[in-house]
Structure formats: structure tokens, C-alpha cells
Amino acid sequence: MEELLKEIKKEEYGKVLTDVSLKEHTTYKVGGICKMMIFPKSVEDLVRLIRKLKVKKVPYMILGRGSNVLFSDRKYQGVIIKLDNLNQITWRGNKLIVGAGASLMKVAMMAGRKGLSGLEFATGIPGSIGGAVYMNAGAYKSDMGYVVSSIKVLTPNLRIITMVNKELQFHYRTSFLKTHPGYICLEATIKLKPGKREEIEAIVQERKKRRLQTQPLEYPSAGSVFRNPEGMYVGKMIEDLGYKGLTKGGAMISDKHANFIVNYQNAKAKDIKDLIDFVQEEVKDKYHIDLKVEQEFKNWE
């Protein structure tokens, strides 16, 4: 890895960090140490970097803003690639072309200020555009599948292609990208509708107020932990089982919203994972339902 580090610095792919704490790059504020984290300057640098890692047979993964992942406490021995520099935003009437590294919340707020409607649901989702497309992020009965018309993708064989909405297989919290590892979103074209700025702002503020009242935003978390089974609400199921406020180490099932697990006191990743496993087992036993986790587990193998 030391030799690889020298080569990468020499070939100037972008900013390089070593021995990085993943606590600083995830919204749960947990996780081990990453041996190397690289921020490519451009798509061309990203392609060169991945080609280099493939030749060297070094494991790597793409990380957005860490808002939907749970890293283990172990050291990650490969390379984590962050696309923060791919954050350009181009406005073309009701359409915008956005780099994968741009903040979803920022783009949603900018759209509202321009009087464009369709992204109001995203003003409280702290992910990147690429991550939001990958998991089909959504809220308030809307999601990325309703607004993304196409994306530019880097394929596993390092070709850049365009995929249109119908090819992306958007469904509840999933997409083509999630079911086809190795495809990387580079940018998204988002199509919105003209709206009234004041009405959009009123919706955003009302939902912000509701989030503050109903979600434990004062603690690190990754949002809702489990997908809601059709016609049911996981938070109510967990609350009815009496597990609101249950703790494991420094992790807690939120006493404000039971479908949130929060890092309330310097939790370890294992504390959070243990609570997730416990809830799944209890719901399976009491309700005969297999809960699906919204977040992805990284480096637990």
C-alpha cells in the first residue's frame, strides 16, 4: 500500500488522505480507519484511478456523503473514493444537470428558490446526488425516480454511457445501480416543473418543522433504519413492542421515532448493528415479517 500511495501521489489523481477515521465521513459518526481516501479532480482522473486500482488488484469503493451506510469498526484495507469534486450544477430551463458529488439538499433548496417544483421531498435528505440515485432516495410519497430523466454512468469496464429513466429500474429504495455493483453514477439530469417560489418554500418550512418535532435530529443517525412493509409503519411496530429508548452501548433506538437508531453516546458500529439485528429478530418473532434494512453494511465481511 505504501508503494501504491507513492504512485498515486505522483500521478496526481486528486487529494489523498491516509489513515482516515470514517467517523468523520458518515452521519452515524462510527466506523474504523480507512487506509486511503482519494478525491478525484475529474471524471478523467476517476477513470485513471480505477484503472490503476484494478491493475494493482486493490479493493475500492465509492462513498457519497455517508448518510446511508454503516461501516464496521475494522480498518478498511482498500481505497475509498469520494466524488465530492464532481459537483457541478448546470441549469437549463426546467432541467438541471448535476454532478454525482453535489449535495442533494443543496440542489433541492436551489431549485425551490428558482421556483422549480419536484424536489421538495429532498430538502431533508443529507446525501449526494449519486447516492440518492443509487438508493432511489425519497420521502413524502416521492423519490428520485419521479424526477431523474437520465444519468451518466461509468460501467465496470470503464466506459461512460447514458442511461434513461426506464433503464434505471427505480423502485422503493432501490435502482439498477444498487443491483448492479460496479456501475458508478457520474451525473444526473433532473427534470422539474414550474412552481411558485412562495408555495414551495411554505412546503419546505412546514416539513422542516415536522422533522424537528418527530425525528431525533439532535443525534447522529442515518435516518430511517428499516423499510416500511406495505401498509405498515416500522416505527409503530417497534414502539408497540416496547423498544423505544432501548440502548446497546452508546447506541439507542430513538425515544422520539422508533425507526431511528441514534449514536447518543460515542457508540461503536457494533452497538448499532446489534440493535438492528435485535429488532429484526423481534419483529420476525412477533409479526412474522422480515424487515429490510435501508442502510448498507460496509466492511463487515
Residues acting as catalytic residues: 173, 224, 294
Residue position matching grid coordinates 447518543 = 264
Q: Is 100:188 a contact under the CB 8 Å cutoff?
A: yes
Among the listed residues 48, 122, 47, 39, the one whose alpha carbon sits nearest the alpha carbon of residue 85: 39
Residue position matching grid coordinates 438508493 = 135
Instruction: Please state, in angstroms and rounded to a whole number, the distance separating the CA atoms of residues 34 and 19.
Output: 5
What residues are paired with 261 via a beta bridge? Answer: 253
Q: Is 191:147 a contact under the CB 8 Å cutoff?
A: yes
Among the listed residues 123, 223, 136, the one whose alpha carbon sits nearest the alpha carbon of residue 188: 136
Among the listed residues 272, 279, 281, the one whose alpha carbon sits nearest the alpha carbon of residue 300: 272
Q: In the numeric block, which cell numbers belong to residue 13? A: 489523481
> Measured between alpha carbons, how far apart are the two ends of the chain, in Å?
20
Q: How many helices (H) and strands (E) does the chain have?
A: 8, 18
Instruction: Give alpha helix (H) positions in the chain.
Output: 2-11, 43-56, 104-113, 129-135, 176-179, 197-214, 234-240, 269-287
The count of other CB atoms within 10 Å of the CB of residue 243 is: 16
Per 3-state DSSP, what percentage of the chain is helix, strand, and coil (rounded to 5)? 35, 30, 40
Q: What is the DSSP letter of 296?
A: E
Q: In the numeric block, which cell numbers belong to residue 117? A: 417544483
